[in-house]
Amino acid sequence: MYQNNAMNAYRMAASSSLSDREADAECFRRLIATLESAAHETDVIQRNQALAKNQRLWSLIQRANAVEAGMVETEDRLLFARMADQAQRYGIRAILDPTLSLAPLIDTARNVLEGLEMAISEG
């Protein structure tokens, strides 16, 4: 009896959980919201916290694509690694220069989100 209840609970959780792409899309939605909020504020601490989130997300993407797992084409992995590198470089410049616009980071995140959403709708 207990095992059946546990299996039913697992099935319900698995069926309602996000796919990898949906989870990635949600990460980018949250990043965009955070960056947009920081872009309209004058608070340097909030801006730096948003930029730190940007750096962490792109670092995770870069790390994930540096490892050959055979699931993603090499060309795509190189593209993701290059995007992550550029976003991190710009993020560092934005941390050092509080007058630098966050728009390029927001635009990059939106482009990735649009690609993820298209992939989700196709799949």
Query: Domains in the chain and their CATH numbers?
Result: 19-122 (1.20.120)
What is the per-residue pLDDT across 23-52, written as a single tens digit (0 to 9) for each? 889 999 999 999 999 999 899 999 999 999
Q: Does pTM surpass 0.85?
A: no
Contacts of 2 (CB under 8 A, 6+ apart): none
In the chain, the DSSP E strands lie at: none
